[in-house]
Amino acid sequence: MAPPSIAQQLAAKQREISVAEFFERNRQILGFDNPQRSLLTTVKEAVDNSLDSCEEAGILPEVTVQIAKEGEDRLRVTIE
């Protein structure tokens, strides 16, 4: 029997983690590594999803984005 390959050895050392845990550890992948980028990513993703839904439903989009300051370090983002 041949010895295990490097890939098999590495795979044996891996442990399964949840998707949420993966992204919590790798926030930069989603664009949530700083407050400014978090806001930009939130708005972009919500608008993209809204436009995709409108296109799929065959209706013209009408998207409203509201950003309100809720505190020193907190914003409320509303997408309609």
Structural domain contains residue 55:
yes
- pLDDT at position 67: 96
Tokens of 72: 């020193």
Structural domain contains residue 68:
yes
- pLDDT at position 4: 80
Structural domain contains residue 8:
no
Structural domain contains residue 5:
no
Structural domain contains residue 58:
yes
Give yes or no for a contact between 78 and 65, defined as CB atoms under 8 angstroms apart. Answer: yes
Give yes or no for a contact between 43 and 79, defined as CB atoms under 8 angstroms apart. Answer: yes
0.85 cut: is pTM over it? no
pLDDT in tens, 9-50: 777 777 777 878 887 788 777 777 788 888 998 999 999 999
Rounded CA-CA distance 77/42 in Å is: 8
Rounded CA-CA distance 24/31 in Å is: 11
Structural domain contains residue 48:
yes
Structural domain contains residue 44:
yes
Structural domain contains residue 10:
no
Q: Which domain holds residue 30?
A: 15-79
Give yes or no for a contact between 41 and 30, defined as CB atoms under 8 angstroms apart. Answer: yes
